[in-house]
């Protein structure tokens, strides 16, 4: 049960952390955002690439949360299967 809570926490962070990239105009910086050479080319590229990246991260975060929830509900010994899949 403890592993599932940590897994959900990680997925929730993956959904929450990109939200500022969608809501606010985060300026170019070396710490936060999609940092590829093309995104540093201009402010417009930075905004477009980071908006797209935030949408992708949020989508995959929700998909992972839903998948983990379904597997946890319907597959017995989900933690055992999850543990074995890493080896």
The model's pTM is 0.76
Q: In whole angstroms, how far apart are CA 48 and each of 36, 53, 83? A: 12, 9, 38
Helix axes 43-74, 2-16, angle to 10 degrees: 160
Q: In a 10 Å sphere around its CB, with 0-12 CB exposed, 13-18 middle and 19+ buried, how is residue 76 labelled? A: exposed
- Angle at CA 65, nearest 5°, toward 15 and 32? 20
What percent of the residues of the chain are helix, what percent strand, and what percent coil, each to the nearest 5? 70, 0, 30
Residue-range definition of the domain harbouring residue 68: 2-84
State how many domains the chain has: 1
List pLDDT tens digits, range 18-49. Answer: 999 988 888 988 899 999 999 999 999 999 99
Residue whose pair of structure tokens reads 């050479």 in the numeric block: 37
């Amino acid at each position: 049960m403890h592993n599932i809570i940590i897994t959900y926490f990680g997925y929730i962070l993956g959904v929450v952390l990109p939200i500022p990239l969608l809501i606010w105009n985060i300026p170019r910086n070396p710490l936060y955002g999609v940092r590829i050479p093309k995104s540093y080319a201009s402010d417009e590229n930075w905004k477009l690439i980071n908006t797209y990246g935030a949408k992708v991260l949020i989508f995959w975060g929700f998909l992972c949360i839903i998948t983990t929830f379904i597997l946890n509900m319907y597959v017995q010994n989900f933690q055992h299967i999850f543990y074995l899949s890493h080896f």
